[in-house]
Chains A and B, each alone.
Chain A
Amino acid sequence: MYPLALFLFPLAAAILSLCAGKRAGGVALLASVLYLGLAGSAWLAVCDGGADISDLDWQTTWLLEFGTRLHLRLDPLSALLLLLTALAGPWIVGSALRGGPSKSGIIEPRPSTYQALILFAQAALAGAFLAADALVFYTCWELCMVPIWLLFCWSPHQERGRVALRFFIYTLCGSLLMLAAFIYVHARTGEPGARSFELAAMHAAGAGLSEREQVFVFGALCTAFAIKMPLVPVHGWQPETYFAATAEGRMLLSALLAKLGVYGVIVWLVPMAPAGLAAFGGILVALAVAGAVYGSLLALAQKNLVRTITYASLAHMGLIAAGVFASALVSDGNLTGTSGLYGAALQMLSHSITSIGLFFIADLIERRIGSSDLGIAGALREQAPAFGWLSLVVVLGSIAVPLTSGFWGELLLLRSLFDHAPELAALGTLSMVLGAVYMLRAYQRVMLGEPAVGVPPIAPLSGRELAVLGTLAACVILLGLFPRIVIDAFTVTTPDVALR
């Protein structure tokens, strides 16, 4: 019953915290911590390998006339992404819980609706990661957008409405392409009346399409997933959206929603259109690596911390996509056991942790100084040492220094790129070098040097802030020391729940 519980728990928690009024923050935090426990035990059940299949797979009839069933299941990858979704919860809720003084007056902790929206987003994401049915996947995929969109209501940005609308329309374009592709493949799953949106049936039907059809299916799905990650050149919605979003909105977008795109590529795209992959894969890998370098170069040109982190995120997602596509190409569409899959799994986890951390750091600075522009503040590490040093750990994780979380993922992704084309791996290492440049430069300008003239010393971290940043930094190190805890689940599972 894990899948159903994992889906319903945050939903129930969202409703509960909505009703909790003033205690919403506490309820949401408690719920998100309990949810982490639940996701953790589900993860262990998957890792265990001996778990009963009924624990990991749940279905009931839903819209049978369309051939769709409410089918949720846990495989290693979805269990990992659920763990990630649950792990992000306490940090994001914790970030939303912070009140206290800021440059522009006292900030109240976010209201109950805000907390409920975060939990609702978790539920929708869980649904998408659990779905073994295309229509369920699509529904949850779209549901994710709603809370993110609504969170813009709390943004202090002048043009939040316009930015949010543009973001919504842009991603909706992609989603509709995906829906069209799903319906097209669905129509080929069998005779009318015997058709199905079931994952396995969709894979079989997709692989049975002619090459030309597959090219179209691949193009449609790939566009949808690429917009979500996002990948260059369909990342147009990202910079402004991240900039205008609240800190928690940025965290949800970069840490969780972006991963939905990668997940879609691995689970839905690659097996459903193998011929499309063979036709487009080579170009896509090159495009994704070029996108990683493009993102790095743009990060280099930014004068604002949030924008730097945004483009860094773009670069990292590009490398993940490149690794996945490269491994898929090398292994003819079967990602099981490839370094692309392992690298993507590790790097998704690491990127989520570090981007939550980086956006949290940017928000801390924004609140204390009133701006996240580089060069306004200086010497913050001297004024708030714990803040400075914990931030450094997160930064090091982001630039993939060994024994931090980012290293192993990047190593494996580069390896999968290398197996496809060594020259592209060389280009990939360029983004690694540039990553060190823009991250250390941003760190230097904010944290080191002389204190800025006319800016009063910042307040040290509050207890809550220390808890969030401290646990983030701890996870960066832990994952760097023991990357196996992530990968073991992929190797010890029984065949019937192994990645399809």
Chain B
Amino acid sequence: MTALDTIGLIPLFPLLGFIVLVLGNRRLSQRLVAAVGCGSLLASCALAGSAFFGLGMRPPEARSLLSTTLTWLDLGGGLRLDFGFLFDPLSAVFVLIITFVGLLIHIYSVGYLWTDPGLHRYFAFLNLFVFFMLLLVMGKNLVVTFVGWEGVGLCSYLLIGFWSRKEAGNEAAKKAFVMNRVGDAGFLLGLLWFAATFGSLEYDALSLVGTKDATDLMIIGLLFFVGAAGKSAQFPLYGWLPDAMAGPTPASALIHAATMVTSGIYLLARCNAVYVAAPVAQGMVAVVGAFTALAAAVVALTQNDIKRVLAYSTVSQLGFMFLGLGSGAPGAAIFHVTTHAFFKALLFLGAGSVIHALHGEQDIRRMGGLGKPLPVTRATFLVGTLAIAGLPPFSGFFSKEELLGHVLAYDFRLWILALAGSALTAFYMLRLYLLVFGATFRGTPSTGHLLHEAPASMAVPLVALAFLSLFGGWLGVPHVIGALLGHPPHFIGEFLASVLPVAGTHEGAVSTEAALGCALAAAALGASYAFVRYYLQNHLPAPPSNALVRFISEEYRLDRGYALVAEQPMTGLGKLLSTSVEPRIGGGVPTASARVAFQVGALFRRAQTGDVGFYALLMTLAAALLLLIDF
């Protein structure tokens, strides 16, 4: 089991990469920066792969490895804040996604940011991000996870504001950090509640869930979900994610699509026992997830910035994952995390390739006809589009079917919502694809001449991710589809079974085959309507203009909502206090005390009469008083 002794090294390599890049700074050549940045991920990915298979070799009941590296604090009473790792199938899946997709995105970044003067900084942050992300999913207790949790938020802040001259990027970075902090505050309170309830912060303690009070568990579950909603962009805390697209596109692909935003799913899956015991919290997760999935998909219909469409689709897909978690199917949610990591990273990198080719143009109304000059990008983007739309035989089809099957078993109404979201997804993704690659070029001729396909360092990751988006679904063929295909093994479900027992059955109001048909029909309907609207009509259709559409295309004016609910009251209160209360405290009390001092002084001055007899009287009285006090 040598491969498993080295799990501690998996996060170490990116950390070393970060340290080398920070210390080396501008002294390192571009080549060296790229080599260190990608090399650390390569080492980490190789270790992760061998550890993954090492774990798979073990019998299912022995697939959980704990190690403690150091004790941060010992608080007595059994509460220790340890730094250490837990490597079990759930962490293993995440570790593999993070290191492998991370490696591909690192390689892609070399081509994308080659000429940027901040290349060393970019790779330093990206390596640091991978380090924190690995801590998050490998932590043996909630504290390590929390450290990684806020650490990835910090790296996200640094990378969104990577071009520090861009005011929009700086604002978006701050917004992301602050909204994540709101979620983190919820997570932290949940963590404290967990410590008070379980007397420990270790994940082991979850086995005692049966002995705990249901109300406590519900509150813990809800507080953790607040944290997850912040990090994984669920309503109402998703507003930071579309803005976060101001950062470099490969960073968006890694952080805001494939890995960091799925942290919330990880946390809730890890604490699944709490949600199983707290149906109210679980129901909340499902409802918020379904609502977000649909609401974000609706916004995605109206957006014209290629990255913004993808950002909203990420929010929406994360909603699906939470819906899965809430339906009591964490395994299905994790499966969707996996396929989503493949196709969403692919779509973002493809978008990056388009933006790169057009020298920064992001508006899809000024694109079109890019299929010819960018054949690799086009082909891989199409694979990603079909995968996210949930069409067979692409990976998204399998994971979404699995998920929808569980939703149907949980609640029929949420299933209908999910179907609607699924249809919309197929529509807006096909719309995006057709507007970018279909028809003819609508941009200015000058940019049209400069069009070029991505360099090899960018093309190779695209192809690799396209391959995974195409075949990744076979990792877990849902039973209902499996029945038609001679029951192929459900790798991911079986692998996760020791951590996430498959709960519930597929029996619901509608038979599973019919449900499968409905889901497929919804996706096909959305896709074909987009095809009719954007392919067969060879011009850009004007969007209907009415108040509702405007409201949606302005993203529900959510920013105004934030301003109204949080920003303005806080700053307003601060200003009010600083103009009304603070001057009184600052000027009032000291001035009053000085005035009292002067008045007391004046009083004593009156006692200075110059009459010796009066002095003698005072002296006698004072002496008497002293004697009284002493006895």
Contact = CB atoms under 8 A, between A and B. Distances in A.
B188 A298 contact: no
A396 B435 CA distance: 43
Nearest to B630: A192
B73 A450 contact: no
A234 interface: yes
Contacts of B574: 297-301
Contacts of A430: 185
A414 B178 contact: no
Contacts of B578: 298, 301-302
A304 to B, nearest CB: 12
Contacts of A235: 585
A240 B586 contact: yes
Interface string B280-305: 00000000000000000000000000
A301 B577 contact: yes
B178 A169 contact: no
B76 A337 contact: yes
A306 to B, nearest CB: 15
A379 interface: yes
A240 B72 CA distance: 39
B147 A402 contact: yes
B181 A425 contact: no
A426 interface: yes
B593 A170 contact: yes
Interface residues of A, number: 61
B154 A233 contact: no
Contact of A187 (B147, B171, B587, B629): B629
A239 B582 contact: yes
Nearest to A381: B164
Contacts of B81: 408
A307 B500 CA distance: 52
B150 A402 contact: yes
Contacts of B171: 444
A148 B466 CA distance: 67
Q: For this complex, into which size category does the number of interface residues on chain B fall?
A: 35 or more
Interface stretch (A99-107, A134-142, A276-284, A431-439): A431-439
Interface string B139-177: 000000011011100100100010011010011001001
Interface stretch (A25-33, A114-122, A247-255, A415-423): A415-423
B65 interface: no
B174 A450 contact: no
B570 A169 contact: no
A62 B451 CA distance: 89
Contacts of B181: 432-433, 436
Best-buried of B167, B170, B594, B629 by chain A (most CB within 10 Å): B170
A299 to B, nearest CB: 8
Given A300-B574, A433-B185, A436-B181, A169 B582 contact: no
B167 A449 contact: yes
Best-buried of A402, A415, A429 by chain B (most CB within 10 Å): A402
A21 interface: no
B74 A418 contact: no
B594 A434 contact: no
A205 B147 CA distance: 46
A416 B325 CA distance: 32
B597 interface: yes
Nearest to B219: A422
A487 interface: yes
Interface in A458-493: 482-484, 487, 491
A403 interface: yes
Interface in A359-413: 379, 381-382, 396, 401-403, 407-408, 411-412
B571 interface: yes
B193 interface: yes
Contacts of B540: none
A440 B172 CA distance: 12
Contact of B571 (A187, A300, A407): A300
A232 B81 CA distance: 32
A484 B196 CA distance: 22
B189 interface: yes
Contact of B182 (A187, A425, A433, A482): A433
A4 to B, nearest CB: 33
B5 to A, nearest CB: 23
A440 B71 contact: no
A482 B73 CA distance: 9
Interface string B185-196: 100110011011
Contacts of A381: 164
Given A382-B164, A432-B181, A484 B72 contact: yes
A148 B147 CA distance: 39
B588 interface: yes
Given A169-B590, A298-B578, A302-B578, A450 B165 contact: yes
Contacts of A58: none
Contacts of B188: 411, 414, 429, 432
B514 interface: no
Contact of A440 (B151, B165, B178): B178
B573 interface: yes
Best-buried of A233, A401, A407, A414 by chain B (most CB within 10 Å): A401
A68 interface: no
A22 interface: no
Contacts of B76: 337, 491
Contacts of A234: 589
A319 to B, nearest CB: 13
Interface string A241-264: 000000000000000000000000
B484 interface: no
Contact of A449 (B71, B170, B588, B631): B170
B551 to A, nearest CB: 28
A487 B577 CA distance: 38
A429 B74 CA distance: 23
B58 interface: no
Given A297-B573, A396-B154, A440-B178, A484 B170 contact: no
B586 A236 contact: yes
A342 interface: yes
B212 interface: no
A180 B408 CA distance: 74
B589 A300 contact: no
A202 to B, nearest CB: 18
A232 B589 CA distance: 12
A425 B72 contact: no
A408 B73 contact: yes
B167 A166 contact: no
B192 A401 contact: no
B547 interface: no
B566 to A, nearest CB: 9
Contact of A170 (B73, B590, B629): B590
A491 B75 CA distance: 9
Contact of A450 (B167, B195, B587): B167
Contacts of B189: 418, 422, 425-426, 429
Interface of A: 166, 169-170, 173, 187, 192, 232-237, 239-240, 294, 297-302, 337, 339, 342, 379, 381-382, 396, 401-403, 407-408, 411-412, 414-415, 418-419, 422, 425-426, 429-430, 432-434, 436-437, 440-441, 444, 447-450, 482-484, 487, 491
29 contacts: A166-B590, A169-B594, A169-B597, A173-B593, A235-B585, A236-B585, A236-B587, A240-B586, A297-B574, A298-B574, A298-B582, A301-B578, A337-B76, A339-B75, A382-B164, A382-B165, A402-B150, A408-B73, A414-B192, A422-B192, A425-B189, A429-B188, A429-B189, A433-B185, A440-B178, A444-B171, A448-B164, A449-B165, A483-B73
Given A169-B590, A297-B573, A430-B185, 19 more contacts: A236-B589, A298-B577, A301-B575, A301-B577, A342-B75, A396-B154, A401-B151, A401-B154, A402-B146, A402-B150, A403-B147, A414-B192, A415-B192, A426-B185, A426-B189, A433-B181, A434-B570, A484-B72, A491-B74
The 7 closest A-B pairs by CB, nearest first: A301-B574, A429-B185, A297-B574, A402-B147, A300-B574, A418-B192, A301-B578
